[in-house]
Structures are given as structure tokens and as C-alpha cells.
Chain A
């Protein structure tokens, strides 16, 4: 208990003035820890509006589509029946960073949400390399407004049904509308010219009159097989559709682009679930505790805060009811706390496993981890044996050849490394998504498109669903679309086609 108590507020009611004072106090604490954030914007909404926000995947503006209605209906029902509480907050990766607060929350919850979203998530959005590379915080809201208006314009001009068809097809391929690596920027005209000059100069220097005396080669091989296109397989199917689809009208292309851009916007979030939530949870915990140390919040406030916090980071065991996999909040928070512990109070085991960070400055170490990792690499790098013991982690192998599942590794000395790599792989998005890429496009032939599914460790696609997706792709493409399944050695196993 702090020697001098000077709480900002005592009741559970919140007001706009209190929100401001809490934010200022938290901002002061955040500055002590050196958190770097975008400016904050807090929007107070009702629970109904929260449901609306859910339906548009948390975005403030969304184009109209029935699937959003479906999500809305499902969430609303679950909420009304009391099966599901609402998230306390939604935060948008934008500049200024927009966080939604629900009006029903108590003052404690509002403070928690401000610390969690407006400082935790906010600094993660600003710092993490994936977000820096793939999202533009300052432009996203404008782009969403543009997308919504564009889609609605198209609906007016071409009919709701026509637009819905395109959107349906794009949504089916949304997971495949993401670029994992940045495309090389197109050369500027000046650069291109300079390169041409360089090339000609090279040719001039190497010119030798002697070569002209050689007899002409045999006539060029007659009409060789049509040129392979694309030269390299293309992982971003929607990109390929947008650029090369033989039949799409310009407005349809733009809609494909809109869906693709949104998919790309969400791409970093899918890769950093554990880190992002862990980071935000760690900071709301640290910041609110700091407020308490300073005597700015009461003990009652802390009790309510701790109760919510504990709910958020609770982890069920695999055999308990309500188990739904590892809780990213729990795992992320525990890892962040653990890194701090390793820095502040390392033991012998930590020194062996983490020689480079044990005993270091925890602020610097955490900041480095936040900036330069995604879930997969973060876990591979920082999951400590102690945490594996605390969570009682164990890996189960499910191999097709065996009739029974087998425990592959547990939290003991032999298992730590294996466990860690399995868990890291589990968060690898590429492992969760089947690897389907555009293999070739018969540009000079019948214009058909060939996709190839490279099976990973013999895991098959769900066939009828893949068939449905193919139909959607064929609608966008306008010509026959074929899906090849290849095994690990690249041999084609089966073929599924959708002809137009």
C-alpha cells in the first residue's frame, strides 16, 4: 500500500473528465517506461454498436455484405442469450489509434481498456516490423471509406447481386490475397534508361568483329512450347486474378483489389496474435500496477482490475470443460512476464537457455522482442523451460500411419527443445493454411488457370469445400480453373477442375 493515497476517483462510474485524467496518468506511467505510441483517440459506444463493430471485423467502416450480417446475427444471438460477453474493447490500427470503449463498463474497466488498447496495442502497432511493413496506419480509415463508397457505387450501377457475386468469390479466396514478401518496386523511367545505357555500353565493350564471321546458327527451333507464365508460382491468388484475369471488368478488378488490400491489412494481426495480446496485457498489468504504486487508484479498483485481468489470462487444461486451445492472452502475457523475470532475476537454467538476455535491461529486451518478431519466431526464441513446466505443455503427434495418437514430447529436459519448436510451428500461418499457389496460366492457349496444392506432410484439402472455392475462382477468372494436388516430391496426385 502506498504511503500517500491520492486516488483519481473512487466510485465505479466514469465520466469524460475522468477518462481524460486516467489517460493522462497512464500516459505519464507509459512515458516512464518509454512506450512509443501513436496519438490516442477514444470512442465511447453502446453495446449495440459494439455488435455492429464485431460484424465488420472490428473496422469502423465496412462495405455492406451478407456475411457481415451473418456474423452480426450470430454474435447478437450469443450475446442476448448470455452465452458470450462482449469484448471490452476493440482497437484499430490507425493513426490516431482508435479504441472503442463500451459505455456499460465501469471506471476500472475503462482504465484497463485504455491501458490495454491505447498504450499496449497502440505501441505494438507502431513498433512491430510486420505492421510497419504491411499497414499504413495513417491511411487505413480513409481507404475503408473509399472502399465502402466504391462498393456502394458499384451496387447502384451494376446491381447488388452482381457486386455480391464478386465479393463472395473474393471472400472465398481472402486468405490467398496476401503477399508474404514485398514485391520489387517498379523501376523508375530514369533508372530504366540508365540501365539501358549501361547494357549497351557493356555490349559495345565486348563487341568483337570476329563473331560475325561465324556461319549462321540453324534456324531457330520452330514455335517452341508456349512460354511458361507466370515464371515463378504466385502465392497471392487474388493479386494474380486482379492483374491477369482475362474477363474481369475494371470495376470488378477494383473490388478484388479492395478485398486483397483488406486481407493484407489483417495479415500482420494473424501473425502476431500471441505477441500482440501478450504485449497489451503485459502493459495494462504493468501500467495499472504502477498507478497503484503511485497511490492514484484505490485498493477496490485494484481488486476489480485483478479479477478482470485474471479472467483474461486464464488457461484451461486440455481436459477441462471450456478448453479451446491455448489462450493467446495467457501465453503471451506469461511469456512477456517471463522475459522480464529472466532479465531481472535469472537463475542458472535461464543463463543456460538465454545467455544473451539473462540479467539484461528488461525494457530493452522486451522492446527488441516486440519490434522484431512474430508469434512463430517469438516462441521459438523466448519460450522458456520454466513456462513449459508452468503450463504443463505436451505435444501430441497425430500420424496417419498409426492407429493411436502418441505423446511426442512433454515438459522435461528431453522435451523442451522439441516442444518449443512444435509450438512455434503451430503458430506458423503457412502451416495452418494449405499451400495453394497459381502454377500456370495458359495465356496463349485456352486461358485456363492451374493451381497447385503442395501437400504438407500428407495433409489433404477438404475436397468438396475446395470444389466450392474453385467455382468461385472460376467465376472471377472466366475460364477453366484446375487444382492439382502434389505430394511432397512434387508428383501430381489428383486433379480437380471447374470448367466454365
Chain B
């Protein structure tokens, strides 16, 4: 007798737990691999999943096995030319003529598997935290979310809660008519008693009249009263702002060559990825500057060439203006990332630093300054020297000389204990 069970709908992802166990066990290795992967990637596919290689040796499960050596015979099919006594050179390398399958003896093969986008990002940003995230929860709050908040006695008819109303009505009726009913019962008993004792008719009539009054009072307690009405209440609960604006400021003067722009771009991309994981919505604002600043789109920002002098202050001022016009800081979490080679002339560095400290930093959640310097160039640039006077917890600056530095710098800036 055949029994057919259709299992297609249940238990689709039975191995998810095992997969997760595997990832957890080899987290260190996978993190290494992810770090390497970042170095090779372009920005546009930075947030895709990816293939991870782990040396097979590291994930192997040991058991007692025969090694090479000793005597053995193996049977193979497909003989064409051999006769007994023929000799064959011993094959070199991992798999032997001893019948071990090619490849199985190979210990250097990598164990390769793919990470989903989610897993990739989890590992990538593992133990990174946004600094001063607490403020966005408790600070000035503009957004509210409506939620149920109990019952009130006034409100619109559409919010009437029938069950609550009737419950109150019942309680009121019991409360108001309880004592009257008791008196009425008492009077009844007295009437019975009087009748048994054959009292005069006047007395009986008086008691009867009393009963009539009491009964009518009992009937006068209304079934539903205005007092009983109950309405569902909704109240606005303050919500932390779940959106962020990220300002990318970059120096595009002649001294910023392609390599330096690439470094900056990588930093921006990582920061953007990181922010998108923390906020529902992240707006990007690109501001480039030479001797004056302009707001551009992403394509122009990274790929259009423009040359000229360098006035950093112009970019900061423009950013400030944009914030005031479009991104009031009560409604947006503002992040700034600035990249420059640090060449600033004359008083520009000092004025920029002052402007930054007085005008921009009070608005910002975080301000990161990345200086793309040449490797081995230890001399502090003028802008670096200027910015060094700024001492605020949510202002950070780092120097980056090569691609591989970007990821560590990001980790350093946002590592959890710094929060």
C-alpha cells in the first residue's frame, strides 16, 4: 500500500542552522577572506555576496586513514594493453596508482562557497558601531508614530469601543440600582409581615406606595448613559529619526590624481554601505571643490575632471548651506566624510578648521576626514595641521596611503568600543 506525502511546502530551509553553525565556526577565516575580497572589488559591487575560499585543510575532519606506503593491490577496469608482469611507473603527486581517486588525496584544494549579500555585510561590518547613535534616539524628535494608548471618555464616534462602553454601563447600572433594589426587597418583606399580622389597611397601603416609588426609581436607571461612552485612544509616540544624509566632500584640484580619488571613493562607498545598514534611508550629497565648491551628481563627482586651486572652506560653507536649506538637523542624521590631499593655502586651513568646529560639528553625528597622502610621506599637510586643533569626540581624521588601508581605517573609526 503506497502512502504519498507531499513535503514540498514544509521545512524548506532545514540546513540553515547547520550553515550558520559552519559560518560561525570559521568566522575568523571567513573574515580574513572577506577583507581580501574588499581590496579587489570595485565600488558598485561592493555590497554583493561573494565566494570565500578556505584552505580545505582547515575545515577537514580528521580520522584514522591509510597514508602512502606499504603493499596493496587495486583492480581497475578498462585494460587494453597490459599483461601480467608489466610494470608501470609510479605516478607522482597526490593520488597514487593505488586506486585512490584523483583529487581526494589533494590537501591543498580550497573549500569554496558563496556568501549571500546579507551574510557578507554581516561579517564585513561585524562589531562596527555608529558613534553617538544614542543621541538620535533621545535628542530633539520630530517624527511621531501613532499607536494605541488605552481608552478615553471623549472622542470621535468612529473610535467608539462598544465592548468597553457596555461594560461601564453595566457597572453603573449595578452601582446605581443596587441599594434601591435592596430597599425594595426590604419593603416587600415588611408588607408580607404586615399582611400576616393583619395590620390596618392604611399601613399596608403606605408600604405598597413605598414599594411603587422604589420600583419606579429602579426602572429609572438608564440602560446607557453619556457617562458610559468609551473611545479608543491613539497617541503619537516619538520615533527616532531613521534617515540619514551623508555628505561626501572631495577636493578635485589638480593635485588629487586618479589614485587618490580612488582611495576617497572607496572610503565613501564603505561608509555609505555601513550607513545603509543602520538607517532605513540614506541620502547622498556630493560636493566637490577646487577654489569654489559645487554640488554634483555621483557620476560627475567621481569621474569628471576639473582643475584649479584649492579652497577647502568653500566646500564646508556649501555643505552648511545645503544642510540649512534641505536637511534640518532635527530631522536628519547628518554624516560628513571629507577627502583631500591636505593642500590648503594660506589662511584657508585655519579658517576651515574654525568653521568646521563652530558651524558644522554641532550639527553632525560624525565627521570623518581622510587625507590621501603618498606612502612614506610623513610630513603633515597644512590642512591636517589645521584640523588637528579641532578636538571633538565625533570628529576623526586618518591618513590613508593605499587601498588596503581603507578598510582598517573604517574599522578604526567605527569600532564598537569607541562608541
Mark A residues whose CB is within 8 Å of B. 16, 19-20, 23-24, 27, 39-46, 48-49, 51-52, 55-56, 64-70, 72-74, 76-77, 96, 100, 103, 118, 160, 164, 168, 171-176, 315-320, 323-326, 391-400, 402-412, 414-415, 419, 422-423, 425-426, 432-434, 436, 453, 455-463, 465-466, 468-469, 472
Contact = CB atoms under 8 A, between A and B. Distances in A.
B70 A457 contact: yes
Nearest to A472: B62
B64 A461 contact: yes
Contacts of B99: 325, 396, 426
Nearest to B99: A325
B72 A469 contact: no
A80 B97 CA distance: 32
Contacts of A419: 75
Given A392-B79, A463-B67, 7 more contacts: A51-B15, A52-B14, A316-B77, A395-B75, A406-B88, A459-B72, A462-B66
Interface in B1-59: 1-8, 11-15, 17-25, 59
Q: Which 10 A-B pairs have the closest CB atoms?
A: A317-B78, A459-B70, A69-B22, A69-B18, A468-B62, A458-B70, A318-B76, A394-B79, A66-B21, A52-B14
A394 B67 contact: no
Contacts of A399: 71
B75 A459 contact: no
Chain B contact patch, size range:
35 or more
Contacts of A23: 2
Contacts of A326: 75-77
Given A45-B8, A320-B78, A66 B70 contact: no
B3 A41 contact: yes
B391 interface: no
Q: Which of A20, A49, A434 has the most CB of B within 10 A?
A: A49
Contacts of A171: 61
Interface in B136-166: none
B416 interface: no
Contacts of B66: 432, 434, 459-462
B48 to A, nearest CB: 15
A465 B83 CA distance: 38
A370 B231 CA distance: 79
B54 to A, nearest CB: 10
B21 A69 contact: yes
Contacts of A96: 3
Nearest to A24: B2
Nearest to A469: B62
Nearest to A168: B61
B62 A20 contact: no
A411 B75 CA distance: 11
A404 B89 contact: yes
Contacts of A55: 14-15, 18
Given A392-B80, A426-B75, A68 B18 contact: yes
B31 to A, nearest CB: 16
A347 B19 CA distance: 57
B222 to A, nearest CB: 59
Contacts of B121: none
A404 B5 contact: no
A462 B83 contact: no
Contacts of B102: 323-324
Contact of B4 (A20, A64, A175, A393): A20
A460 B65 CA distance: 8
Task: Specify the main secondary structure of chain B where it touches its partner.
Answer: loop
B82 A49 contact: no
B85 A175 contact: no
Contacts of B72: 397-398, 457, 459
A100 B6 CA distance: 10
A320 B90 CA distance: 18
A459 B76 CA distance: 20
Interface stretch (B109-117, B169-177, B361-369, B378-386): B109-117
B308 interface: no
Contact of B75 (A42, A400, A422): A422
B188 to A, nearest CB: 67
Contacts, number: 260
Contact of B70 (A160, A392, A400): A400
14 contacts: A20-B2, A43-B4, A48-B13, A72-B18, A160-B21, A318-B78, A324-B102, A391-B78, A397-B73, A407-B87, A426-B74, A432-B66, A453-B64, A462-B65
Given A42-B3, A463-B67, A410 B79 contact: yes
B63 interface: yes
Task: Specify the main secondary structure of chain A where it touches its partner.
Answer: mixed
Contacts of A434: 64-66
Contacts of A433: 64
Contact of B5 (A43, A67, A68): A43
B201 interface: no
Contact of B63 (A391, A412, A465): A465
A396 B74 contact: yes
Contacts of A160: 21
A66 B25 contact: yes
Contacts of A393: 75-77, 79
B328 to A, nearest CB: 47
A373 to B, nearest CB: 18
Contacts of A408: 73, 84
Contact of A49 (B11, B98, B113): B11
A23 B3 CA distance: 10
Given A65-B21, A472-B62, A415 B79 contact: no
A41 B7 CA distance: 12
Contact of B64 (A42, A100, A164, A176): A176
B238 interface: no
Contacts of B2: 19-20, 23-24, 27, 40-42, 118
A175 B64 contact: yes
A395 B78 contact: no
Interface in B87-127: 87-90, 96-99, 101-102, 111-114
B86 interface: yes
B77 A317 contact: yes
Contact of A41 (B5, B15, B59): B5
Contact of A68 (B15, B64, B83, B112): B15
Contacts of A325: 76, 99, 101
B69 interface: yes
A98 to B, nearest CB: 8
A96 B1 CA distance: 10
Contacts of A324: 101-102
A316 B67 CA distance: 26
B67 A461 contact: yes
A64 B84 CA distance: 51
Nearest to A55: B15
Contacts of B69: 400, 458-460
A407 B71 contact: no
Contacts of A51: 15
Contacts of B113: 73-74, 76-77
A223 to B, nearest CB: 36
